[in-house]
Structure formats: C-alpha cells, structure tokens
Structure 1
Amino acid sequence: MTSLQQRVAVITGGARGFGKAFGHALADQGMKVILVDLDLAAARLTAAEIGPNAEAAAGDVSDEQAMHDLMQDIAKRYGGIDILINNAGIHSAEANKPIGELGTARTRRMFEVNIWGVIYCTLAARPFMAGREGAAIVNISSMAAYGSQMAYGVSKLAVRGLTVSFAHELGGDGIRVNALAPGLILTDTIRNELSPDVMAHVKGMQIVKRDGAEQDIVSAMLWLVSPGASFVTGETIRVSGGATLQV
C-alpha cells in the first residue's frame, strides 16, 4: 500500500461509523484524509483522534455548490484529489420503510443525500482527479439494494446504477469507480437500532456465520483503492458473509 503515501482522500460522512474507520485506515497508509461531515464538531474530534494526517471539513453532500467549492478548495491546497469515498448517507432503521409510510418529504431528503450526494460529490471531484495515477472512487451501497422493497434499498440500488454509469463516464479520465455493499456489520449504530431478532434473522441468511465487523468493510475499501484493483471498475462488491447471493 506504499503507493497511497502522500496522496489525498476525501471521505464524506467521515465523522463516525464507516467514514471514521476509512479515515483511520487511509491515514495509517500515509494519506492525507479530509473528513467531510454535517457535524463539524464530531468530524474535528475524529480528525484529532486520527492525527496530523486528517482534517475536518463541514459539508452537506446534497448541496451541489457547497461540494463544488469544497472540492475546489481541497484541490487548491493539496494539488488534487486521489481518492473519493462517497460514504455519507441516511441509513437509520427509521429510513428503512416503504415510501408511502416514510412519506414523500423524508424520502426526498434521503434521495437527496444518498443519490444526489453521490452525483454532486463525484462531479465536483472529477476535474481534480482526472489523470492522476490510481485515482479511484468508492461508493457505499448496501445489501438492501438486492431485493429490498423499502425506500432505503431503492436509494442504494440507485448507487449501484450510478457506479456503473460513472465507471463508463469517468473511465476516460483514468478514474475507476466501484462500490461496496455491506451486509450486517455490527457497528454501534446497528447495535442500537436493530433488535436481536432482526440481527439473528439477517445472520441466518449468511453463509459465513460470524458477525460482520467494520474491518471487513475497511479491508475491501483498501483493496479497491489499491493498485491490486487497477483492472476493476463499475463493480459493486458485496461484503455480507454470503447473504443475498444471486446468480
């Protein structure tokens, strides 16, 4: 992973959860990581925890102009952007409902973050990633994108589609675009939100009968942004212990 040293990564939703774990992992590889989050105070705490290779930035991924200005500022200060991880998303159990139950206002807001956020951040970062060796984007989808009838799953299905679309669109710029679809990963949020019965049900769908851990997602992310994945683009990799397998 020495090829990641002295490079620049932007991680949306970087204050906590997967974003925080990604920040630690990439900073440990010698990258400069910018943790973008609505909660600037939390992002600053995470950046301080990670150390001198991390910094926090306030940002709402559903604000197109704000993302344009942010990516431009980062590129101006550091000479470009090498890695973009589109991690920010609305993903609470509260959002995992049918659209009619969730309501149009909350569905719209979730789509603005989960779908339009990916679009805005990708297009804003593109000019500053183009032509940089090893440039890579990783989107965060979900196992809910496979067969889910809920609003959240629909938004993550769209992320899978955007991953393919942007892989084609940005390929000429030398930018690879892939996605991860986590299964049941026992983060603090999941433990707090899901009942033991629900977790047991999902775990019963897995082939690998152990709990999913943040490190499983981190390891997959590190591979996708590494030279080892230089021939991989447009793919969504499920990290779910074999749940939701399809032929």
Structure 2
Amino acid sequence: MTDDRSRVAFITGGARGIGRTFADALVADGHRVVLADASVPDAEIAAAELGADRALAAYCDVADEDSVRAAVDATVDRFGGIDILINNAGRHLMSWSRPVTDVTTEAWRDILDVNVLGIVNCARACRPHLRAAGDGAILSVSSVSGFTSTDVYGVTKLAVRGLTVALAKAFADDGIRVNCLAPGPMDTAAALADLPDELLTEFIENKQLIRRQGRTADLVGAMRFFCSPESSFVTGETLIVGGGFPLRV
C-alpha cells in the first residue's frame, strides 16, 4: 500500500486460504489484521504466526449477526477501529456445484446465509467504523463462477457482485468504497482437495488463456489496490483474476 499509516483489516475466513494470504500481505505491509473465522484454533495459530501485536484471532460466524457484532467489537477494543473489511468467508466446495433445484431448501438457506447474507451482516456491523476511518474500503470475494455458472454456487457468487454494486451506492455518502474480486480456481488446500483433477486440468487447458494453476498470491496485488488510496476513485467494480477466463468486451 502507498500510505504509511497502519490500517486495520477485518478479514472473514482469515485463518486459511485466500484470507490468510491477504492477512500475510497486509501484515508485511505494516498493517494490522483480524482473522475473523469460524475455526478459532486455526485463527489462533495464524495470529500467533503473524504476531500478537499485528494480528487478532476472533470467532466469527458470518451468518450470525450476534457473532459478527462480537467480533467487530473485539476488533475495535483491540485496535481502535476498522479501516478495511474483506468479505472472504464462503461455502465453496463441489457439493454446491449442482443444479439449483437439486439442492434442498435447507441447503439453499445455508449457503445463502454465508455467501450472501454474511456480507450484509459484516458490512452493516463494520459500517460505522469504516465511516469513522474516513477512507474505509470493503472488498468482497466473488468467483468467475458468478459470470458463467448456473449452479447453486455460481448463483451465490453472482449475488456477491450484485451486493458490491448495492453497497457501493448505499455507503457512498459515508466515504466507503466497495469493490470485488472474482478469482478463478486457486491453489488453496480446500480447493485442491475438493476439485477433481480432470476438471481442474480441463479448466486450465481449455478455458484459461494463461494455462497454469491460479495462486492465491495472484490476488494480492489487486487486493492491495482496492484496499488502498490508490483506488480512491473506484467503487462498485468487480475485477476478474482468472487467467483470462471469462473474457468480456
């Protein structure tokens, strides 16, 4: 980031995968992070590795408003405020890559509660603190599936893009910018364990223009841009980081 002021980032799903990669990068830049995660042991391990003066582990079930508020309060008590909200937590395994009528209503509510309403819950709870920061930024993680898929997971990630636009408009008068990243398949442990090898290979070789496995590190530059003053004139946007898939005109 270009400014030298230490900022505070509240990262949902921050203990592992993309969230942990973002936390590592922000701490390396001199900022402080909150690993807001449903797995407290994983969050505590990550926080210890990052350093107690720079990282806080906080239990956070994004689908539960009370849990979100408690994690936000713990953040403010520890670090004094919140400058950045990164909505990274989400349901994303192959069990959700199914036709929309093949999933029970109960299962639909589960994934919507996390992938969609979880963003609303976190944005609502963080809003006053982001407003007080004066240059608050929200970054949500969607997926290339939100552009091309007609399955359950893709529909929820399409909704994340819609929320990005809606929140950008709703929070504009507060001086809070809201943007979104749409990654392709990344090299997180969970994704690599879940995605069939043949499906991943087909995606890389026949859909991507850059024919290699996406890495969480590939997202860091875009994250830094959207969370810093360098993007002070950008809001309501979704950036695809998918190796050239899908192409848009």
- Scaled by the length of structure 1, what TM-score is found? 0.96
Q: Which 5+ residue runs of structure 2 have no aligned equivalent?
A: none
Change (3 A) 1:28 1:5: farther
Distance 1:169 1:114 in 2: 19
Maintained 8 Å contact 2:59/2:67: no
> Which residues of 2 match residues 13-24 of structure 1 at below 5 A?
13-24=13-24
2:139 corresponding residue in structure 1: 138
RMSD (CA atoms): 1.3
Maintained 8 Å contact 1:2/1:29: no
2:76 corresponding residue in structure 1: 75
1:155-207: CA deviations, max 9, x gaps? 01000000000001111111100000001212222221112211122112111
Q: Which amino acid aligns with 2:180?
A: A
Aligned-residue identity in percent = 43
SS at match of 1:108: helix
> Which residues of 2 match residues 90-109 of structure 1 at below 5 A?
90-109=91-110
Distance 1:130 1:101 in 2: 42
Change (3 A) 1:171 1:239: same
> Which residues of 2 match residues 1-247 of structure 1 at below 5 A?
1-3=1-3, 5-52=5-52, 53-203=54-204, 204-247=206-249
Worse-superposed segment, 25-34 or 194-203: 194-203
Maintained 8 Å contact 1:134/1:225: no
Distance 2:47 2:201 in 1: 34
SS at match of 1:60: coil
Distance 1:158 1:80 in 2: 28
Maintained 8 Å contact 1:4/1:31: no
Give, in angstroms, the shift of residue 143 of structure 1.
0.4
Q: Which amino acid aligns with 2:126?
A: A
Maintained 8 Å contact 2:58/2:74: no
SS at match of 1:125: helix
1:207-247: CA deviations, max 9, x gaps? 12222111111221111112211111100100001111122
Q: Which amino acid aligns with 1:156?
A: K
SS at match of 1:242: coil
Change (3 A) 1:124 1:244: same
- Scaled by the length of structure 2, what TM-score is found? 0.95
Worse-superposed segment, 65-74 or 231-240: 65-74
Give, in angstroms, the shift of residue 2 of structure 1.
4.8
Give, in angstroms, the shift of residue 72 of structure 1.
3.0
Q: Which amino acid aligns with 2:219?
A: I
SS at match of 1:100: helix
Give, in angstroms, the shift of residue 4 of structure 1.
5.6
Change (3 A) 1:174 1:131: farther
Distance 1:147 1:127 in 2: 35
SS at match of 2:15: coil
SS at match of 1:80: coil
Q: Which runs of 4+ in 1 moved over 6 A?
A: none
Maintained 8 Å contact 2:56/2:75: no
Worse-superposed segment, 58-67 or 35-44: 58-67
1:28-47: CA deviations, max 9, x gaps? 11111010111100110111
1:47-83: CA deviations, max 9, x gaps? 1122231110001100112212322332243222100
Q: Which amino acid aligns with 1:176?
A: R
